[in-house]
Amino acid sequence: MEFECQRGTKIGLKDCSINCVDYPCKGKADSIFIEPSKNSKSFAFDSEKQKSLRRLDGKGASLSLKCEESLAVKEVLLDCRSITDLPPALISEILNCLEPKELGIVSCVNTSLYRLASELHVWKEFYYERWGQPILLAPLGAEHVDEKSWKELFVEREFRSKTFMGRYSIDTLHGHTEAVRTVVVLSSKKLVFTSGYDQIVRMWDLEEGLSIASSRPLGCTIRAVAADSRLLVAGGTEGFIHGWRAEDGNPHLFDLRSPQNQNMEFRVWKHEGPITCLALDLNKMYSGSWDMSIRVWDRSSLKCLEVLMHNDWVWSLSPYDTTVSSTAGSDLYVWDTNSGSKLAIVTNVHAGDAFSLARSLTGKLLFSGGEDGAIHMFEIIRNVKFHVRHVATWIPHSGAVYSLAFEFPWLVSASSDGKLSLIDVRKLLRTKRSYVMEKPSKINNCVKNVEPPQRMLHGFGSNLFAVDVGPDRIVCAGEEGVVRIWNFSEALEIEQRVRALRGLRLENRMRRRKLQSVMTGKGSRADQCSVAAKKYQMNDDRNSWRNKRRLTGKVKV
């Protein structure tokens, strides 16, 4: 197994050369002689070795303290014949440089490595990079998050991500009287928010598929909705943002039915055109409009902090940390929200308008869908210079891609051709090792021979306008005015039963092999006894035949 260490870390088990920062060893190697210690349990130098470390080199310079420490570490490493002989802290640092799959392989070597690999804090980083804050989900159990290790949570969520390739059932939600333009899934509260041409924001139960509440007509078409556990906002074609604040003690967070309450509802006006996209983070609110601008708002004071001007209509946006990505016309932008400066721009991404945009939780991956039916994958690289790298392209649809949603590792797209495409991006992701080893000259190379979408979902009319994805559900809506929830929990249950049966088969197989080995051992001893008995019997038969022959000869005589 090849292990990758962090930059600046050098571990040598065979090479005896030492690089010292404070003292440049320019003399010959023979000028300093250090005898390795033969006691692997002692990590300190004795008095004689301390004196030997203070010897002068050929130029009369003395060794520095840092060089002494490196020699002490080297003395320990020389006594280590395998990685398990290293100190546990050093092994943990090595394992932290591996990917989840590699950690799983290492944990199968022996019990000590299994224990160290399972207790690493890096599993938490892996989980947050892919799915963010853990959500307690049924039916995998009612245990609290704190009672499970981060490795168990990671394996469980990775197992859930495979269900999109299994069986499903469809829940059809009726309530909207006209086309639905936007869909938002709030997985932490198991809620769905939808709105469209009928000017009403509706709230649905994600698991039961039932309508919970609906707002009064807001006065114009609602093309964008965004929500989290504290705030729900909707953007209208008249340029306003209408919002609801969460109520304490309300299991559904927002009271959409009550008349307008100044303490719990608000409406802000700044845009001069229809609002097409909205997004929320911890402290800010983002809105994009056909007035060719994105406005950054303070969530508490509702004041506009920054205006980001584009060259065309803004169709979609996605924030991360201090940056926000957006599509306007056929171009892709990346902005710094603190300074309002443009960090990167990719022109003519699509042949036509770029209608949709999605971004990973780490902010490194960008996905765009456009009027040409194509989906592009980009990677944001922050080195000395901000750079957007084109990774791959898919063309799964015959019509415009109106909406994209990303839930690791699945990218889901909705198109005007009435189809949903599911794309697994795991094979296109670069590991930590590739980030370090990749040459700058190859940074612009696009991945060729990309696999087609792993699954296409049919059964709609034309013009699917919106899609969003949860842990084991996909929610979409379009021109028909019907909201559909694709429920893959049945596939999860089937996969659980299959895995349990696979474990029983493996256990029975190991039991049979053990029994067979025992019977084989007994059978070999019995065979030896039977062979010896047959040999004895053959010798006895020969002796009796000879005796009979002698007897008959005597009788004849």
How far apart CA 216 and CA 199 sit, in angstroms, is 8
Q: SS3 for 322-345, per residue?
A: CEEEEEECCEEEEEECCCCCEEEE
pLDDT tens per residue, range 119-132: 887 888 888 777 77
Average pLDDT over every residue of 42-64: 45
CB 239 within 8 A of CB 287: no
Q: Tokens in use for 22?
A: 């404070």
What pLDDT, on the 0 to 100 scale, is given for residue 446? 61
Average pLDDT over every residue of 255-268: 82
Burial 184-199 (b: 16+ CB within 10 A, else e): bbbbebbbbbbbbbbb
Q: What's the first-to-final CA gap in the chain, in angstroms?
A: 86
What pLDDT, on the 0 to 100 scale, is given for residue 138? 46
pLDDT tens per residue, range 149-160: 888 888 888 877
What pLDDT, on the 0 to 100 scale, is given for residue 20? 36
- Looking at 121-135, 288-302, 542-556, which range is the least confident one? 542-556
> What counts of helices (H) and strands (E) characterise the chain?
9, 28
Q: Which pLDDT band holds residue 342 (cuts at 50, 70, 90)?
A: very high
Average pLDDT over every residue of 150-173: 84
Alpha helices in 170-277 (DSSP H): none
Highest mean pLDDT among 249-263, 408-422, 460-474, 486-500: 408-422
pLDDT tens per residue, range 81-118: 677 777 888 888 888 888 888 888 888 887 888 888 88
What order of strands is seen across the sheet that includes strand 304-309? 275-280, 284-289, 293-298, 304-309
- Looking at 258-272, 430-444, 520-534, which range is the least confident one? 430-444
Highest mean pLDDT among 2-11, 53-62, 521-530: 521-530
Does residue 297 or residue 551 have the better pLDDT? 297
Q: Tokens in use for 513?
A: 């092999």
Average pLDDT over every residue of 44-51: 44
Residue 75 has pLDDT above 50, yes or no: yes
Does residue 452 or residue 192 have the better pLDDT? 192
pLDDT tens per residue, range 408-462: 889 999 999 999 999 999 888 765 444 433 443 343 456 656 788 889 998 777 7
- Looking at 11-15, 178-182, 283-287, 480-484, which range is the least confident one? 11-15
pLDDT tens per residue, range 193-238: 999 999 999 999 998 889 999 999 999 999 999 999 999 999 999 9
